[in-house]
Amino acid sequence: MGFFDKFKKSEPAKPAAPAAASAPAPAPAPAEQKAIGIKFGTQAPIPFRDPTYGPLYINAYGSATLVPLDPQADPNRIVDMAKMNILDQLNQKLFDLDNTPYDSLSARSDEICADIAKAISSKFKIQTMTIDSIEPDEMSRKMIEQKKIAMDPQLAAKKMQEAVERARASAIAAGYDPDEMANRPMPNFIADAPTTLPTDPEELMKQMKAIQAAASGAAILGFCEACGKPFSKEGFCENCGAPVAKKE
């Protein structure tokens, strides 16, 4: 430093520039809900009208894989909420399809799933969804079968033949000749009915058993002394196995 430099006024030091404020740390993003798999089905049959068979009741069952969009959703309620939303939309979709052939619903299951996924897209992201079956309930199924038979003479003849074959098989299994039974004259229950009922309880029971046996098409040879039931074959009682013989 020179001799005169020490008489110079020193300039005040410039204040340091304030440190730049640090940006607040971003809040942690809420954890995304995990995908869940569910199975759903109608709790009660859904009313549906078919243009051919009239009023029916439909059951539908399926499965889905979905992700809840609300990260704060209660995990313990997600499955129930998803099922409730899906079933509400399924009921609405079947209502919209009312008066279409019920047997076309299965072919439209992809369309139904797409509409359901769109309707609940604000709450759930659907990854996969399938409807495994859309079928009428048991009462509706029987009614459809009866109407199909009534509308189709060939089907009616087929069902009649199946009934005859079942009857023949049952007769053979019981030890009867179905052809011989077919040639028997049918009993006239009205003409053959007794005009007065016996007062003896045992005799009354025998008459009732004879009428029941006649209605079954079996010839009555007598009553078993061991169990009291009618038999139609000599040798052994068909009910208890005791020896029996026709009384002359």
Q: Label residue 140 exposed, middle or buried (CB < 10 Å: 0-12, 13-18, 19+).
A: buried
pLDDT at 115: 94
| Surface-to-core class of residue 229, CB atoms within 10 Å of its CB (0-12 exposed, 13-18 middle, 19+ buried) | middle
- Could you read off the pLDDT of 91-131 as tens digits, one per residue? 999 889 988 898 899 899 999 999 999 999 999 999 999 99
pTM reported for the whole predicted model: 0.52
Domain boundaries in the chain? 36-137, 152-181, 184-244
Domain 36-137: state its class: alpha beta
